[in-house]
Structure 1
Amino acid sequence: MPAARLHGQLFDEPAHRHPYAGSEMPTVLVQGRIAAPKADLMRRYAPEGWKVRVWNPDTDEVAVFAPLAQEADVIVGGAIPVPWPATPKLRLFQIPWAGYDFTSPERMPAGVPVANTFEHETAIAEYVLAGMLEWVIGLRRLDEEFRSSGWGGHATGRAPSHGELRGRTLGIVGYGHIGRETAHRAKAFGMRCVGVRRSAAPRPPELDWLGQNDRLDELLAEADFVLIACDMNEETIGLINAERLALMKPTGVLINVARGRIVDEDALWSALSERRIGGAVLDVWYAYPQPGGEDVWPSKRPFQDLDNVILSGHRSASTEEMHQRRWRFVAENCARIGRGEAPRNVVFLGSGQGG
C-alpha cells in the first residue's frame, strides 16, 4: 500500500483498506449541518462513478446515519451525531474546512485518516487587507461625511488627511496558509511584514523576519497591525493576554481571524475600552449558537459599543469562490482514495474503537 504523510511523517495505510476493484462503485457520505447544504457541490465535482449520499440533521432522522455510514468509503463533514457505528469500508474522514478542534484521534475509527481542507486563505487575506485599509483610510467615514455635508467647507487639497499602509508593519502570529497569503498582499502595499510560528522554518521572501514563538513579544512591540492566524489548542488558548496586549503600540491594531479564545476576552475588552491599544478588527468570537440551543451573543463584553473596533460574525472566509475551491479539493481527495493513493492534508489517524 502507498504511504501517506502525516505532518511531514510517513505512515503506512492499514492493509485491510485496499484500492477499489473492478465494478465496485465507491460512496461518499456528506453529513452535518454545515456540509450537507453543500452536497450539490460534491455532486458537481465528485469523481466519475462515485455515489453521493447526504445526511442532514435538519431534515433526516438520526437513525438514518448509521446505515449510510456503514456503506461509505469517505465521510465528509464535522462531528457525527451518534457513537461510531461499524464502518468497514471507510478509508477517509474528510473535514471540508480547516479547523478540527471538534474531534481527536480517540474519537475517530482506528486507522482512518482524518484530513482537513484549506482554500480559505485568499478570502481571509483580502478581508485582512480590507480591514487595514479601512483603518488607515476610513472610507466609511469619508462617505458619510460627503453624503451629509459635501465639501464641508474644505477647499480642494486642504481637507483633513488620512493614512496609508505603506511603511507600516504587519506582525503575523501563526505564519501559515493565511499568513502567507496576507503577507504577499501586504508587501504589494509597501508594508513591512514579520511573523512567528511554532516550528522553525526558513524565512520566506515576503517576510522581513520569521521566528518561533519565543519572538512573539518582539513582534507585538514592532507591529502596527497584529494578525492572529494560529491554530487554537492548549498552548494558544489565552496566548494574547493582558501582559502581551500591554506590549503592543498604543496605536496598534489587533486583527483576529483565527479563534476568539486565543485572545483573552476580558483583557482585550480592557485594552480597547481604556484605549491602551489603537483598536481591533474582530471576526471570531467567544460564544457561538449551537443547534437547538438558545441564541447567544458573541461576547459577554459589549464590543459593539466601542468606536475603535470593526466587527463581523465569522464571515472573513465566506466567499462563493472559496466554497468552490474547497469542494474541488474534497472531490480530489476522494479521487485519490479511489485510485489507491494517499489523501492530502491528513492531520491525524483515528485510534478509537469505531470503524
Structure 2
Amino acid sequence: MHRLAFGPRRCVIGRQLVAWNPYVSVAHKRQEGGQLSLLKVGTHYAMLLDEPGFGKFPIDLVHLRVDKPEDLDGIEVLWSQIFTAEMAHYSNKLKLIQSTGAGLELVQFDHVPNGCQVAIVHEHQWAIAEWVIMAMVSLNREVLKLDRDVREGRWEHHPINSFSPSGTELNSQTLGIVGFGHIGRQVSKYASALGMRVKVATRNPSSQAVASGYGAESVENLNRLPEFLSDCDHVLVTVALVDETESLIGQEELNAMPDNACLINVARGPVVNEKALYQALHGGHIAGAALDVWWQEPNKPGELPKSSKYDFGDFANVLMSPHASAMTKEVMQRRLQAAYANFDRIKLGEPVEGVV
C-alpha cells in the first residue's frame, strides 16, 4: 500500500487514500522500464491511490518530490493548473498537460510544446450547484444577519417580537442563469426542482428542448441581457472569462435588475465589473450578492492578495468565499478518476478527453 507523507490532511474515500496539500508538486514515474512518466504538480491538490488498477493498466509508481522546473525533464504527462515558459524549457517530451480543473488562465499556451495536448476536467457542477442553492437560501433568509443577531444577543426577529417576516422562499422566485454549461445546467435542475422559475441567457443558445430538459423555461442570447435581467430575483453568473465576457455584468446590467434581486458569481471575478457591483450594493440598487470568485486571487503559495480594491466585507448582505464552491471530497475523487483515465488513454494511444 502506498502512503503519501507530505500532506497535512488526508482522508480515505472508498478504497483510496486521498491526500492533498495546496501547491505541492509530486512526480510519479512508472517502475517498469520508465515507459510512462506521470507528474502531478498540484497547484491545488496532489493525490495518490492506495492500490493500483484505477484505469486499464496497473499504476505502480515511485513518488518523487518536484522542487524545480528541471525536475520535469523526461516527464510525459503533467497534472497542473500552471504551465510557464520556464517549465516549457524542460518539457521536451511532454505529451499532455492535464489541468486539475476547468480553469486554464495560468497556462501559458504560447509555450506549450508542439504536439502536446492540454485537457481540462470538470466534475464540479454538482458541488457548485449545491453552493449556489445554499447562497440563494442564505440571502433570501438573511442567514448571516440572523446568525450575528443571536451571537450578539439580539432577538428582534424572534416570533414573539416580530410579525413581519423578511425571509422569502425560493419557490416564489425567478432565477436567471447567465451561461449554460455544466454548472448552469446543474443549477437549473436543482432550482427548478425547488419550484423556481428558471430562464437562461448564453453566448450560444441551446434549443428550447435542451433547456427544458434541465428545467429552464426559456433560453436567450446574451445580446439582450438588460431585458433578460429585469424580472430576475437571483442572477447566477457562470460564463467563461474571455475577452467578450469581461465586465459582462456592468452598471447597465446591474441597474436593470430589480432592487430586491441578488447577484451570484461562480464564474471569474472580472466577468462582473468590480466598481459597478460595489456601487450597486452601496446604493441599494440590488439586495445582495454571493461571491465565490474575485478580481485578485493567489497564483502561488504564500500570496495574500486583496480580493478587491473595494471592501465588500463591509456589506452585511454579501456572502463571500475564497473560490471554494467546488471544494468537496467528491469533486476531488471524480477529478482524480478522470485524470487517471486520460493517463490511460495516453498510454494506450487513445483520444484524450477534455482537450481544449
Contact 1:29 1:54 (8 Å CA) reproduced: no
1:75 partnered with 2:78: yes
Decide whether the 8 Å contact of 1:171 with 1:226 is kept in 2: yes
* CA-CA distance at 1:29 after TM superposition: 1.1
User: Which residue is equivalent to 1:221?
Assistant: 230
**Structure 2 letter corresponding to 1:63:** E
Counterpart among 282, 305, 314 of residue 273 in structure 1: 282
Match of 1:171 among 162, 167, 176: 176
- 2:17 — aligned with what? none
1: CA distance, partners of 2:312 / 2:95 = 45
Deviation at 1:43, TM superposition (A): 7.3
Match of 1:324, as an amino acid? Q
Equivalence for 1:31: 41
Give distance in 2, aligned partners of 1:108 and 1:97.
18
User: Residues 139 and 317 of structure 2 are in contact (CA less than 8 Å); yes or no, is this contact kept in structure 1?
Assistant: no
- Report percent identity of matched pairs: 33
CA, structure 1 residues 315+42, in 2 after alignment: closer, same or farther (shift >3 Å)? farther
Counterpart CA distance in 2 for 1:191 and 1:283 is: 22
Query: Could you say which residue in structure 2 is the equivalent of 1:324?
Result: 333
Corresponding residue to 1:252 among 248, 261, 274: 261
Mark the CA change 1:298 to 1:44 in structure 2 (over 3 Å): closer, same or farther. Answer: farther
Structure 2 residue aligned with 1:13: none
Q: Answer yes or no: is 1:186 the counterpart of 2:191.
A: yes
Check whether the contact 2:229–2:253 (CA below 8 A) recurs between aligned residues.
yes
Query: Is residue 2:102 matched to residue 1:95?
Result: no
The gaps in structure 2 that reach 5 residues or longer are 1-31
Distance 1:42 1:34, change over 3 A: farther
CA contact (8 A) 1:28 1:51 kept: no
Aligned to 1:113: 117
The CA distance in 1 between the partners of 2:119 and 2:232, in whole Å, is 34
Matched residue count = 319
1:63 aligns with 2:87: no
Question: In the superposition, relative to structure 1, how do residues 51 and 86 fare at CA in structure 2: closer, same or farther (>3 Å)?
Answer: farther
| Alignment partners' CA distance in 2, 1:50 and 1:105 | 29
- Aligned-partner SS, 2:171: coil
The one of 327, 342, 347 aligned to 2:351? 342
TM-score where L is the length of structure 2 = 0.80
Q: 1:42 to 1:327 in 2, by over 3 A?
A: farther
Give the Cα–Cα distance (whole angstroms) in 2 for the partners of residues 232 and 91 of structure 1: 26
Structure 1 residue runs of 5 or longer lacking an equivalent are 1-21, 348-355
Report the alpha carbon displacement of residue 317 of structure 1 after superposing the two structures with TM.
Answer: 0.8
What is the distance in 2 between the residues matched to 1:182 and 1:321? 17
What is the TM-score normalised by the length of structure 1? 0.80
SS in 2 for 1:235: helix
Higher mean alpha-carbon deviation, 102-111 vs 245-254, is at: 102-111
Q: String of CA shifts for 1:206-260, please: whole Å, max 9, x gaps.
A: 1111122123222211211110100001111111111111111111100001111
**1:28 to 1:282, Cα distance in 2 relative to 1, 3 A:** same
2:36 aligned partner, one-letter code:
P
Judging changes above 3 Å, is the alpha-carbon distance between structure 1 residues 157 and 202 closer, same or farther for their aligned structure 2 residues?
same
Match of 1:305 in 2: 314
Instruction: Return the offset for 1:193.
Output: 0.6
Cα shift readout 1:239-284 (whole Å, capped 9, x = no counterpart): 1111111111111100001111111111111010111111111111
Counterparts of 1:71 and 1:340 in 2: how far apart (Å)? 17
- 1:288 pairs with 2:293: no
Contact 1:171 1:195 in 2 (8 A): yes
Distance 1:153 1:173, change over 3 A: closer
Q: Distance in 1 between matches of 2:87 and 2:156?
A: 65
- Tell me how far 1:196 sits from its aligned partner: 1.4
The answer on whether the counterparts of 1:42 and 1:331 sit within 8 Å (CA) in structure 2 is: no
**What is the Cα-based RMSD across aligned positions, in Å?**
2.9
Structure 1 counterpart of 2:203: 198
Q: Which range moves more in the overlay, 26-35 or 82-91?
A: 82-91
Whether the 8 Å contact between 1:95 and 1:114 is mirrored in structure 2 is yes
Do the aligned partners of 2:248 and 2:273 also contact (CA within 8 Å) in 1? yes
Matched, 1:132 2:136: yes
Counterpart for residue 88 of structure 2: 84
